Chain A
Amino acid sequence: MGLRLPSKVLEHILSFIDSNEDRNSVSLVCKSWFETERKTRKRVFVGNCYAVSPAAVAKRFPEVRSLTLKGKPHFADYNLVPDGWGGYAWPWIEAMAAKCPSLEEIRLKRMVVTDECLEKIAASFKDFKVLVLTSCEGFSTDGIAAIAATCRNLRVLELRECIVEDLGGDWLSYFPETSTSLVSLDFSCLDSEVKISDLERLVSRSPNLKSLKLNPAVTLDGLVSLLRRAPQLTELGTGSFAAQLKPEAFSKLSEAFSNCKQLQSLSGLWDVLPEYLPALYSVCPGLTSLNLSYATVRMPDLVELLRRCSKLQKLWVMDLIEDKGLEAVASYCKELRELRVFPSAPDLDEANIPLTEQGLVFVSKGCRKLESVLYFCVQFTNAALLTIARKRPNLKCFRLCVIEPFAPDYKTNEPLDKGFKAIAEGCKDLRRLSVSGLLSDKAFKYIGKHAKKVRMLSIAFAGDSDLMLHHLLSGCESLKKLEIRDCPFGDTALLEHAAKLETMRSLWMSSCFVSFGACKLLSQKMPRLNVEVIDEHPPETRPESSPVERIYIYRTVAGPRMDTPEFVWTIHKNPEIGVSHLAIK
């Protein structure tokens, strides 16, 4: 009964459907659609490696070509997750190797990857093409050498901000002389020097090389020689730019850059001396992306560079740019879509840079396409937030870090409630929001009510009480990831909105007032959530009402994980523990 599409026809239709969200919807229609979809899915994304078992994924999607996985919670980036928590890549590599030999691409973020994993990848996937490791750790340059040596069709090898045991620069020489397929190489996070002649030869025999990101050990001379061999580069991460300036060296550098007529993205520039910046002037007009966040250069030199970058869409810079520099950006970089301003002296005590809320206001006013902001600033005002919201309703990502915890609007001494209300209300497409400064529960009432599309929300040192969490969990329709630290709320709101947690990917809370008793109760109530108590002191030895250090709660169909270290408690560790009679209103 009813119309049934032949699976070949359905397959053809599905070949036009790329987005995983759409494919997930397709797979829910009926069994045959589920079957056809799963057999044709080429790209699999798993946002939490513990949400589903590797074996289940490998079995369901036998034709997968590209796998993307994320492991540790985001706050691991700021050392809030103790070492050894988890996020191991091995079970996934093993499962894929067994069932999906056609896998070509692996992208991992915040996972523990060992040399064994890398060797397994090299050995198991004959047509392996792309390896991107972001914020990963646990491997050495030996593992990288294995990939370089064995993956004959390797196109992309990117190590982004990984912690790698660096055993020397030999790994580079493992690329066979026959390997000519490289499109992108990023070893910027490695410390050791690689042999420049090896690198030169590799670059020379890779005609498709478009992206090259060097580590600081590569000298300026090395850079010049590489640029001469790869003038077709579209993305470049320089090595160290701090050598003594010789007039001859400068003109060689200038010339090398001017021959790179397709360069669109520039990064690296560690400790660049201001005298070298003019060598970059020739590429500025073509740049769409510029990462100056490691360039300790002062405002006038930055402005001299930036005023030439009329096509710039993405700018990462340190607060050395000052308000004045951002005013210049607002007037010269009209195509700007993303701005990140990092603190040059992150210690709280060192606030001495003339960067205030005014800098961001300038850019919000002048750059009509601005949609993504990450801004570190010592203090802020409601007025500035209101202006930003009014001028830039198209903001999609707004992350403000007021460095001074609990800092109120420094002009009126009020909390920043009104300001963030304006952001939540005005920026209707906001997907990601980080709040900071002095905020009362009211702020979260506004956010809960208005931030309908926010998927990820980060909160630190804010709120007055449980109401804060209550507002967020009863509102924020699209919320998928919530991370909170040092906020004074506790059990009630968490337990009241337990069901909401199943609609989210994860919830992280540290240094709040959630009790061990509540964690146990939540674990019992919600079998499809993994409730992890991450506490250096075993919570079982403390009274149930005592607050735990950190909690990580995530939905999962994989059940309890078996690889928890000692300091992670889950109810599965002692399921016989009963929960005493607790009165929850």
Chain B
Amino acid sequence: MEVTNGLNLKDTELRLGLPGAQEEQQLEVSCVRSNNKRKNNDSTEESAPPPAKTQIVGWPPVRSNRKNNNNKNVSYVKVSMDGAPYLRKIDLKMYKNYPELLKALENMFKFTVGEYSEREGYQGSGFVPTYEDKDGDWMLVGDVPWDMFSSSCQKLRIMKGSEAPTAL
């Protein structure tokens, strides 16, 4: 540190760059913490829940009254099925109850889901529909009332029966 006559000239020097950055440093813009998650990585998503989304203050530049207006009539969620090569997306608002949703999933992925019971979950087919809720927890589809499910479901995953019991 250059100190002349008690003055730390480096300290007051006008420079382009963050203070303390003596050598080339990757300058990170302050309010953006990198969120490396990109759309292209869909097909390689792991079963673990993704890291929490980072929010940039005031971005995108929409007024708060628009941000609060979350889609009431449109609600797309991603659907993955173990073993399927790529994910799909469905609009939860298109369905009014569980049977409709399950039927649509069965058609989309060409499988059948088993008999649902509160105690045993889905039995008989080897496929178990699960979903990630607002808290990031993975739940069994069908346990909560439809409205509660449709407003808290963030993602769907159809697990293959052999994995399901241990995973849940």
Contact = CB atoms under 8 A, between A and B. Distances in A.
Contact of A293 (B17, B66, B72): B66
A79 B16 contact: no
A344 B74 contact: yes
Given A78-B62, A345-B70, A348-B35, A584 B30 contact: no
Of A492, A513, A546, most buried by chain B (CB within 10 Å of CB) is: A513
A347 B134 CA distance: 14
Contacts of B61: 75, 77-78, 401, 458, 460
A294 interface: yes
Contacts of A294: 66, 69
The range of chain A's interface size is: 35 or more
A78 B73 contact: no
A543 interface: yes
Contacts of B72: 242, 271, 296
Interface in B68-100: 69-74, 76, 89
A466 interface: yes
A488 B27 contact: yes
Contacts, number: 128
Interface string B37-72: 101000000000000010111111111111101111
A296 B19 CA distance: 47
A225 B70 CA distance: 30
A161 interface: yes
A545 B58 contact: no
A543 B12 contact: yes
Given A346-B67, A461-B32, A403 B12 contact: no
Interface residues of B, number: 40
Contacts of B119: none
Contacts of A352: 76, 89
A544 B32 contact: no
Contacts of B15: 490, 545
A346 B12 contact: no
Contacts of B67: 346
Nearest to B38: A404
Given A296-B71, A298-B73, A352-B89, A78 B14 contact: no
Given A79-B57, A79-B64, A343-B60, A545 B32 contact: no
A581 B4 CA distance: 13
A491 interface: yes
Contacts of B167: none
A271 B74 CA distance: 10
A363 to B, nearest CB: 20
B57 A80 contact: yes
B16 to A, nearest CB: 5
A545 B31 contact: no
B32 A405 contact: yes
A582 B7 CA distance: 12
Interface in B2-30: 7, 11-19, 27, 29-30
Contacts of B37: 349
A278 B63 CA distance: 30
Contacts of A274: 73
A79 B11 CA distance: 32
A273 interface: yes
A238 to B, nearest CB: 15
Contacts of A461: 29, 32
Contacts of A296: 69, 71-74
Contacts of B18: 513, 547
A212 B58 CA distance: 31
Contacts of A485: 31, 58
A376 interface: yes
A547 B32 CA distance: 16
Interface of A: 75, 77-80, 135, 161, 189, 242, 270-271, 273-274, 293-294, 296-298, 320, 342-352, 376, 401, 403, 405, 458, 460-461, 465-466, 485-492, 511, 513, 515, 517-518, 543-547, 580-584
The 8 closest A-B pairs by CB, nearest first: A78-B58, A296-B73, A511-B30, A80-B58, A78-B61, A486-B29, A490-B16, A580-B12
Given A296-B69, A458-B61, A545-B13, 19 more contacts: A75-B61, A77-B61, A78-B61, A189-B65, A273-B73, A345-B71, A349-B37, A401-B60, A401-B61, A405-B59, A460-B61, A488-B29, A490-B17, A491-B14, A492-B14, A492-B16, A544-B12, A583-B13, A583-B14
9 contacts: A296-B69, A297-B73, A458-B61, A461-B32, A490-B15, A490-B17, A582-B13, A582-B14, A584-B14
